[in-house]
A = this chain, B = another copy of it.
Amino acid sequence: MIQFWESGFEGSSMQNLVDRMGISRQSLYDTYGNKRELFEAALKKYRDEVIEPKLKELSDDSLSATHLIRRHLESIADGGDRMPIGCLVVRTATEISVQDSDIGRMLEDCVKLTRDTIQRVIERGQKSGEFDTSRPAGELAAVVIASGMGLQVMRRLPNQGRDIRPSVDAIMTGLRASATEH
Protein backbone atom coordinates (compact mmCIF):
# COMPACT_ATOMS: atom_id res chain seq x y z
CA MET A 1 0.00 0.00 0.00
CA ILE A 2 2.74 2.42 0.95
CA GLN A 3 4.69 1.63 -2.21
CA PHE A 4 1.69 2.24 -4.47
CA TRP A 5 0.81 5.30 -2.43
CA GLU A 6 4.27 6.76 -2.91
CA SER A 7 4.89 5.81 -6.52
CA GLY A 8 1.56 4.95 -8.09
CA PHE A 9 0.63 1.87 -10.09
CA GLU A 10 2.88 2.32 -13.11
CA GLY A 11 5.65 3.76 -10.98
CA SER A 12 5.82 0.68 -8.76
CA SER A 13 7.58 -2.36 -10.19
CA MET A 14 6.95 -5.84 -8.90
CA GLN A 15 10.55 -5.83 -7.74
CA ASN A 16 9.92 -2.73 -5.63
CA LEU A 17 6.90 -4.44 -4.13
CA VAL A 18 8.75 -7.69 -3.45
CA ASP A 19 11.50 -5.77 -1.68
CA ARG A 20 9.18 -3.72 0.51
CA MET A 21 6.70 -6.47 1.37
CA GLY A 22 9.42 -8.75 2.69
CA ILE A 23 8.07 -11.86 1.02
CA SER A 24 9.39 -13.76 -1.96
CA ARG A 25 8.37 -13.00 -5.47
CA GLN A 26 6.74 -16.40 -5.84
CA SER A 27 4.68 -16.04 -2.68
CA LEU A 28 3.50 -12.68 -3.88
CA TYR A 29 2.21 -14.12 -7.13
CA ASP A 30 0.75 -17.18 -5.36
CA THR A 31 -1.17 -14.94 -3.00
CA TYR A 32 -2.27 -12.05 -5.20
CA GLY A 33 -2.14 -13.39 -8.75
CA ASN A 34 -0.81 -10.36 -10.57
CA LYS A 35 0.06 -6.74 -10.17
CA ARG A 36 -3.43 -5.44 -10.74
CA GLU A 37 -5.01 -7.69 -8.12
CA LEU A 38 -2.27 -6.75 -5.70
CA PHE A 39 -3.09 -3.14 -6.33
CA GLU A 40 -6.75 -3.77 -5.63
CA ALA A 41 -5.78 -5.39 -2.34
CA ALA A 42 -3.66 -2.35 -1.52
CA LEU A 43 -6.59 -0.09 -2.33
CA LYS A 44 -8.84 -2.12 -0.01
CA LYS A 45 -6.19 -1.83 2.70
CA TYR A 46 -6.06 1.91 2.13
CA ARG A 47 -9.82 2.13 2.53
CA ASP A 48 -9.81 0.09 5.73
CA GLU A 49 -6.72 1.49 7.39
CA VAL A 50 -6.49 5.06 6.15
CA ILE A 51 -9.93 6.23 5.09
CA GLU A 52 -12.04 4.39 7.64
CA PRO A 53 -10.18 5.83 10.66
CA LYS A 54 -10.66 9.30 9.22
CA LEU A 55 -14.37 8.64 8.84
CA LYS A 56 -14.50 7.38 12.41
CA GLU A 57 -13.03 10.67 13.54
CA LEU A 58 -15.77 12.43 11.61
CA SER A 59 -18.43 10.46 13.44
CA ASP A 60 -17.64 11.81 16.89
CA ASP A 61 -20.87 13.62 17.66
CA SER A 62 -19.49 15.10 20.85
CA LEU A 63 -17.59 17.63 18.77
CA SER A 64 -19.16 20.42 16.77
CA ALA A 65 -19.69 19.93 13.05
CA THR A 66 -17.49 22.94 12.35
CA HIS A 67 -14.69 21.49 14.40
CA LEU A 68 -14.94 18.10 12.69
CA ILE A 69 -14.88 19.45 9.15
CA ARG A 70 -12.08 21.85 9.97
CA ARG A 71 -10.00 19.11 11.52
CA HIS A 72 -10.68 16.90 8.53
CA LEU A 73 -9.39 19.51 6.11
CA GLU A 74 -6.46 20.47 8.28
CA SER A 75 -5.36 16.85 8.54
CA ILE A 76 -4.73 17.01 4.79
CA ALA A 77 -2.23 19.80 5.32
CA ASP A 78 -0.58 18.08 8.26
CA GLY A 79 -0.47 14.85 6.34
CA GLY A 80 0.40 12.63 9.25
CA ASP A 81 3.80 11.55 10.44
CA ARG A 82 5.42 9.08 8.12
CA MET A 83 2.65 8.72 5.57
CA PRO A 84 3.27 9.55 1.90
CA ILE A 85 2.15 12.92 0.65
CA GLY A 86 -1.27 13.07 -0.95
CA CYS A 87 -4.05 10.53 -1.21
CA LEU A 88 -3.95 7.15 -2.93
CA VAL A 89 -7.51 7.54 -4.17
CA VAL A 90 -6.74 10.89 -5.78
CA ARG A 91 -3.50 9.57 -7.21
CA THR A 92 -5.19 6.51 -8.68
CA ALA A 93 -8.12 8.47 -10.07
CA THR A 94 -5.75 10.67 -12.03
CA GLU A 95 -3.44 7.85 -13.11
CA ILE A 96 -5.62 4.93 -14.09
CA SER A 97 -7.87 5.21 -17.11
CA VAL A 98 -10.99 4.53 -15.17
CA GLN A 99 -14.15 4.11 -17.22
CA ASP A 100 -15.99 1.31 -15.45
CA SER A 101 -13.21 -0.97 -14.27
CA ASP A 102 -13.08 -2.65 -10.90
CA ILE A 103 -10.63 -0.07 -9.71
CA GLY A 104 -12.86 2.74 -10.89
CA ARG A 105 -15.72 1.31 -8.90
CA MET A 106 -13.57 0.96 -5.80
CA LEU A 107 -12.44 4.55 -6.07
CA GLU A 108 -16.01 5.69 -6.42
CA ASP A 109 -17.00 3.66 -3.38
CA CYS A 110 -14.29 5.36 -1.35
CA VAL A 111 -15.48 8.78 -2.42
CA LYS A 112 -19.12 7.95 -1.86
CA LEU A 113 -18.37 6.56 1.59
CA THR A 114 -16.52 9.70 2.56
CA ARG A 115 -19.16 11.93 1.06
CA ASP A 116 -21.95 10.25 3.01
CA THR A 117 -20.05 10.61 6.24
CA ILE A 118 -19.31 14.25 5.63
CA GLN A 119 -22.89 14.83 4.57
CA ARG A 120 -24.09 13.51 7.92
CA VAL A 121 -21.78 15.89 9.74
CA ILE A 122 -22.98 18.78 7.64
CA GLU A 123 -26.63 17.94 8.23
CA ARG A 124 -25.90 18.15 11.92
CA GLY A 125 -24.15 21.45 11.40
CA GLN A 126 -27.08 22.79 9.46
CA LYS A 127 -29.51 21.91 12.22
CA SER A 128 -27.29 23.60 14.78
CA GLY A 129 -27.05 26.74 12.63
CA GLU A 130 -23.33 26.40 11.97
CA PHE A 131 -23.64 25.81 8.23
CA ASP A 132 -25.45 27.26 5.27
CA THR A 133 -28.95 25.86 4.90
CA SER A 134 -29.64 27.35 1.49
CA ARG A 135 -27.96 24.34 -0.08
CA PRO A 136 -28.65 20.63 0.42
CA ALA A 137 -26.12 18.97 2.69
CA GLY A 138 -25.10 16.62 -0.12
CA GLU A 139 -23.92 19.53 -2.24
CA LEU A 140 -21.94 21.05 0.59
CA ALA A 141 -20.43 17.64 1.24
CA ALA A 142 -19.42 17.43 -2.41
CA VAL A 143 -17.71 20.80 -2.04
CA VAL A 144 -15.81 19.60 1.02
CA ILE A 145 -14.75 16.47 -0.86
CA ALA A 146 -13.66 18.40 -3.94
CA SER A 147 -11.85 21.02 -1.87
CA GLY A 148 -10.09 18.31 0.08
CA MET A 149 -9.00 16.59 -3.11
CA GLY A 150 -7.72 19.90 -4.40
CA LEU A 151 -5.71 20.43 -1.25
CA GLN A 152 -4.25 16.95 -1.65
CA VAL A 153 -3.06 17.92 -5.13
CA MET A 154 -1.82 21.32 -3.96
CA ARG A 155 0.20 19.68 -1.25
CA ARG A 156 2.28 17.88 -3.85
CA LEU A 157 3.56 21.15 -5.29
CA PRO A 158 6.85 22.49 -3.90
CA ASN A 159 5.95 25.77 -2.25
CA GLN A 160 2.19 25.68 -2.25
CA GLY A 161 2.02 23.63 0.91
CA ARG A 162 1.94 26.68 3.14
CA ASP A 163 -1.06 28.16 1.34
CA ILE A 164 -3.20 25.29 2.52
CA ARG A 165 -3.88 26.46 6.04
CA PRO A 166 -5.48 29.80 5.14
CA SER A 167 -7.40 28.03 2.38
CA VAL A 168 -9.04 25.87 5.00
CA ASP A 169 -10.23 28.99 6.78
CA ALA A 170 -11.73 30.32 3.58
CA ILE A 171 -13.44 27.02 2.83
CA MET A 172 -14.96 26.97 6.30
CA THR A 173 -16.22 30.53 5.80
CA GLY A 174 -17.82 29.40 2.58
CA LEU A 175 -19.68 26.63 4.35
CA ARG A 176 -21.06 29.06 6.89
CA ALA A 177 -22.17 31.32 4.07
CA SER A 178 -25.71 32.60 4.39
CA ALA A 179 -26.17 30.71 7.64
CA THR A 180 -25.40 34.10 9.18
CA GLU A 181 -28.48 35.56 7.54
CA HIS A 182 -30.80 33.94 10.05
CB within 8 Å of B: which residues of A?
A: 6-8, 10-11, 86, 90-91, 93-95, 97-100, 104-105, 107-108, 111, 132, 134-135, 139-140, 142-143, 145-151, 153-154, 156-160, 163, 166-167, 169-171, 173-178, 180-181
Contact = CB atoms under 8 A, between A and B. Distances in A.
B146 A150 contact: yes
24 contacts: A8-B10, A86-B94, A91-B95, A93-B153, A93-B156, A93-B157, A98-B157, A99-B158, A100-B158, A104-B158, A108-B157, A108-B160, A111-B157, A139-B169, A142-B166, A143-B147, A146-B154, A150-B150, A150-B153, A153-B153, A173-B177, A176-B177, A180-B181, A181-B181
Q: Report whether over half of chain A's contact residues are helix, strand or loop; otherwise say mixed.
A: helix
Contact of A174 (B7, B98, B159, B174): B174
Contacts of A111: 154, 157, 160
B149 A170 contact: no
How many copies of the shown chain assemble into the complex? Answer: 2
Given A139-B167, A150-B148, A108 B174 contact: no
Contacts of A7: 97
Contacts of A8: 10, 94-95
